[in-house]
Structure 1
Amino acid sequence: MTAPPAKSPDQPSDKLDAAVLKIASVVVLGAIMSILDVTVVSVALPTFMSEFEATYATVAWTMTAYTLALASVIPLTGWAADRFGTKRLYLTALVLFVAGSVLCSVAWDVTSLIAFRVVQGFGGGMLMPLGMTIMTRAAGPHRVGRVMAVLGIPMLLGPIGGPILGGWLIDVATWHWIFLINLPIGLIALIVAVVVLPKDAPKASESFDFRGMLLLSPGLALFLFGVSSIPETGTVFSARVLVSGLAGLALIAAFVVHALRTDHPLIDLRLFGNRQLTFAVLTMSVFAIGFFGAGLLFPSYFLQVRGETTLAAGLLLAPQGIGAMLTMPIAGQLVDRIGPGKIVLTGLALVALGMSVFTQVGVDTGYPLLLGALFVMGMGMGCTMMPTMTAALQTLTDSSIARGSTLMNIVQQAAGSIGTAMMSVILTSRIIAPQGAPEGSSGQPDAEMLAQLPPEMQQSVLSSLAEAFGFTFLVATIVMVFALIPAAFLPRKRAEKPEGTGAPVVMH
């Protein structure tokens, strides 16, 4: 038997060493807070409605404002990471996020809560792209798949832990604690970051693209504001949606023209000259519209149609996270060996298969079937999200990684917001006045009004509501199938080291 060739002493190991894992612990802590905060607040909306005596459309802005702030600050992150250093910026983002969390916990009305969520979003928006940049630089391009698998941990804990934690804290304490919980986690992350993260080596290179910032950040915020207003206004043709959306698109279009004419734009659109990154962006866009758009519907189905408590609804979503937990580490290793193409195609097929079960949901659909479908979807998500991120970043040079991760995060946030608004509009349009059923402020049947109806009328309304959910899940499933098209162009071989990187970059 011929012995396998010995590794050259200069050839880097594929395994993540202790130094990289220590850095990963800091990044994961920050990302967990940022992602967990989205799902924790989602189950608190009914509590905000009663606490602040506000409509659903109003309290929904506690989530929308966070997303808008998060998306607006992401474009600045790539330049700031290069200019000031990733460690300093990461510490700043942590402080801003924790401060915003504490402010949210002392909010005295819904307006102040929405304002403080903006502060929180500014910090949260920098945590994930910065974490991706720090980890990718620390591990080197040859281990990007494993790095993305580690960064996928927050993606798993968010869907599992968020609804459960939020429901539990509201049940045993008060809504204030869904924000105060970030204080001890944030302090631990700050201390560990100061000790573990390597010293900065900021570059005094490019000047800041102020014109690009004044075009792109407001453009993204206005566009997402317009899109997010569709469920509240009930139509695309309202002045609020059209004026904001079109103004945002005009600013984004102006930024595209500006970015292609300047040497150091805020977001380097020339990265789209990289074929692999382009198809990864297209795959992520379509996937995020379908997956995140449908994501908020699962707890709503369990709460509204099946009458579950917030804690029970959170627990019922756990199989999705468990499925992803099983496949994500395996997918991360396989991507480094065989490329992302086959992994992502398999993942998208699994997500579409699991989601297709929900197209047939009713008032009494068996829980074993639904939980099994969520588990299959989770397995698919574990094979899709981070491998797609890997496909985008693994061929970039070290100097382009910060800009590439920033671009991918903008795409993910924008597409997720579009998907959420789109699915909300479809769901609301299918529910309107089934057989004279009462409507709540959100366009969906109000629980208190339903309780006053005769049992047979309640059953009729709930059946109509279940059909509306099923149709919306059908649209989301079709979107997931379309994501297979750009995914088919992703590479199916191990990535070669990008030109100009030299040896893989490892931070000490």
Structure 2
Amino acid sequence: MTTPADHAPPGPRIPEAVHRRRWAILGVLMLSLLIVVLDNSILNVAVKTISTPAPVGLGATQSQLEWAINAYTLVFAGLLFTAGLVGDRLGRKKVLIGGLLVFGVGSAFAAESGSPDQLIGFRALMALGAAFVMPATLAVLMNVFERQEQPKAIGIWAGGVGLAIAIGPITGGVLLDHFWWGSVFLINVPIVIIALVLMFWLVPDSRDPRPGRIDPVGVVLSVVGLVLLVYGIIKGGELADFTDAKVLATIAAGLAVLAGFVIFEMRSDHPSLDVTYFKNKVFSAAMAAIALVFFALMGVTFFSVFYTQSVRGYSPLQSGLLLLPLAVAQMIFAPRARLVVDRFGNKATTAGGLVLIAATLGAFATFEADTPIWILEIVFFLMGFGMAHIMTPTSVVIMQALPREKAGSASALSNTFRQVGGALGIAVLGSVLSTSYRNGVEGKLGSLPPGLRETAGESIEATLGVAAKLGAQGKALVTPANDAFLHAMHTTALCGAGVALIGAVVVALFLPGKPPAGQQGDREQELVVAGE
């Protein structure tokens, strides 16, 4: 069996002048990527501050905090695929510029939010912009680099994610130590301005030379299906009950619409998505690996902030600095992961990365309130090392499986799977964390009035907040709250580790091994062999 790329005519050549500037262009693309990823990593550090009552924060509840994150995820995941199609059709540079402008405006409004509901709305606006930025960065990269340089460029691009992970929490911690909570969003505005100036100057435009007719039915079905699916997942996590009738109905409706989308695309003579791409086992396995690893990681990342700040007592800045080893490892090893792939093949590299991720998540199940902090730092470093050896090879496989002129669609598909996987991780693992915590702490809240008892049982932050209001009487709640959270964290971490191991099995079964010596560096031939 051959890959879709085998029968596709080559994409339009990029002028040599552009190729000479390709590394500078990559820098601009990484700057654009930086703000999209940085914003979420900053918010993870700021959630505790935003939950504090005014004037320090907005007094957001646990549910509102989750929706400040989930509103972004919902819009971002719902529009990624459509955004990739728009970029392929209208031009990636135009889409990048428009997306950055919307993201910058949304950031400025979010910084001035007067209530949690306003913040949720402006986060959705930011996601609208980000949905057009993310796939376009990788699509432009694929068009300014020749095939043999693409793995190296993608590795550096993936390392940029690590840079954002590092800068985000540290920057957020510094800002929260010196300014008001809104500064974590306002910081995006000058970065957007710099990125726009450089983009006008350096980045060439590119598009699909033969995009075909518009497929409005396919576009609508993809957006509606993804939004319904992600909303149902998020709602199930919020209610901590995936058996709720409304949750099941919403998820089922989303899956039904997406099934209708696939059937429509198979029968269409001008589809938005050529579903035959998924007949390639390598392409599909790489997509599954990305979804599963982000499922495992996103849920764990969410609770690690509460572990370091609520249980361990670190400040937002200190909590951000603790994540530095994870980001540094990804920055160092993502650009070099292609060398490991050349030596051991995609299968061994990616499966090894997933097994390592499972082991690091399992390590969280051993953490207590007094675990030496250097152990946490080693675990974060190994987690970043594992991520570097998953993201780079899977991204290369996915992007090189499709013809160059479809780069926006390929990038959008990859990011859609990642976002849906991440949303599932936060919802499902968040539900496990929330349910386990409530079950563990409710027996210790008997001395509280009924109203306070229900509030205190929502989360560790809610319990500690009630304890602080009660003064000396509330001190007796701190230890039970920490114990209940640690038990819930252990359970959640083991669930995440199990999902990562499933990903390793999928990769071991379907990704290609090391190619014969004569085919080293021939990525396309590797995909053909694997797809047979």
What TM-score do the two structures reach when normalised by structure 2?
0.86
Aligned pair 1:496/2:522, yes or no? yes
For the residues of structure 2 that align with 1:353 and 1:91, how far apart are their CA atoms? Answer: 41
Q: How many residues align?
A: 484
For the residues of structure 2 that align with 1:497 and 1:237, how far apart are their CA atoms? Answer: 44
Instruction: State the one-letter code of the partner of 1:462.
Output: N
Instruction: State the one-letter code of the partner of 2:25.
Output: I
Shift of 1:200: 4.0
For the residues of structure 1 that align with 2:457 and 2:82, how far apart are their CA atoms? Answer: 37
The aligned residue for residue 444 of structure 2 is 436
Deviations 1:121-146 (A, max 9, x none): 01101212111111012112222211
Name whichever of 63-72 and 162-171 sits farther off: 162-171
Asked whether the 8 Å contact 1:26–1:189 carries over to 2, the reply is yes
The aligned residue for residue 13 of structure 2 is none
Q: Which runs of 5+ in 2 are unaligned?
A: 1-17, 446-452, 526-532
Q: How does 1:6-405 map to 2 (within 5 A)?
A: 18-49=20-51, 50=53, 51-200=57-206, 203=209, 205-335=211-341, 339-405=345-411
Name whichever of 447-456 and 412-421 sits farther off: 447-456
The aligned residue for residue 466 of structure 1 is 486
SS of equivalent to 1:340:
helix
For the residues of structure 2 that align with 1:173 and 1:58, how far apart are their CA atoms? Answer: 22
Q: Structure 1 residues 23, 337: CA separation in 2 closer, same or farther (over 3 Å shift)?
A: farther
Deviations 1:82-133 (A, max 9, x none): 2211111111111111111112122232222222211110110121211111
Name whichever of 455-464 and 183-192 sits farther off: 455-464
For the residues of structure 2 that align with 1:427 and 1:219, how far apart are their CA atoms? Answer: 27
Asked whether the 8 Å contact 1:142–1:394 carries over to 2, the reply is no
Deviations 1:126-181 (A, max 9, x none): 21211111101211222221121121133202322222222221220112211111
For the residues of structure 1 that align with 2:375 and 2:483, how far apart are their CA atoms? Answer: 18
SS of equivalent to 2:334:
helix
The aligned residue for residue 9 of structure 1 is none
Instruction: State the one-letter code of the partner of 2:511.
Output: L
Asked whether the 8 Å contact 2:76–2:127 carries over to 1, the reply is yes
Instruction: State the one-letter code of the partner of 2:48.
Output: P
Q: Which runs of 5+ in 1 are unaligned?
A: 1-15, 500-508
Asked whether the 8 Å contact 2:467–2:475 carries over to 1, the reply is no
Shift of 1:379: 0.9
Aligned-residue CA RMSD in angstroms?
Answer: 2.2
Name whichever of 131-140 and 235-244 sits farther off: 235-244
SS of equivalent to 1:174:
coil
For the residues of structure 2 that align with 1:256 and 1:160, how far apart are their CA atoms? Answer: 38
Instruction: State the one-letter code of the partner of 2:507.
Output: A
Shift of 1:248: 1.6
Deviations 1:385-419 (A, max 9, x none): 12211122223322333222221111011111101
The aligned residue for residue 8 of structure 1 is none
What TM-score do the two structures reach when normalised by structure 1?
0.90
SS of equivalent to 1:432:
helix
Q: Structure 1 residues 375, 204: CA separation in 2 closer, same or farther (over 3 Å shift)?
A: closer
Q: Structure 1 residues 457, 239: CA separation in 2 closer, same or farther (over 3 Å shift)?
A: same
SS of equivalent to 2:21:
helix
Shift of 1:376: 1.0
Instruction: State the one-letter code of the partner of 2:189.
Output: L
For the residues of structure 2 that align with 1:231 and 1:158, how far apart are their CA atoms? Answer: 27
Instruction: State the one-letter code of the partner of 1:41.
Output: L
Asked whether the 8 Å contact 2:285–2:511 carries over to 1, the reply is yes
The aligned residue for residue 502 of structure 1 is none
Which of 401, 423, 441 is the equivalent residue of 1:417? 423
Instruction: State the one-letter code of the partner of 1:37.
Output: D
Higher helix residue share: 2
For the residues of structure 2 that align with 1:80 and 1:487, how far apart are their CA atoms? Answer: 31
Q: Structure 1 residues 199, 478: CA separation in 2 closer, same or farther (over 3 Å shift)?
A: closer
Instruction: State the one-letter code of the partner of 1:419.
Output: G
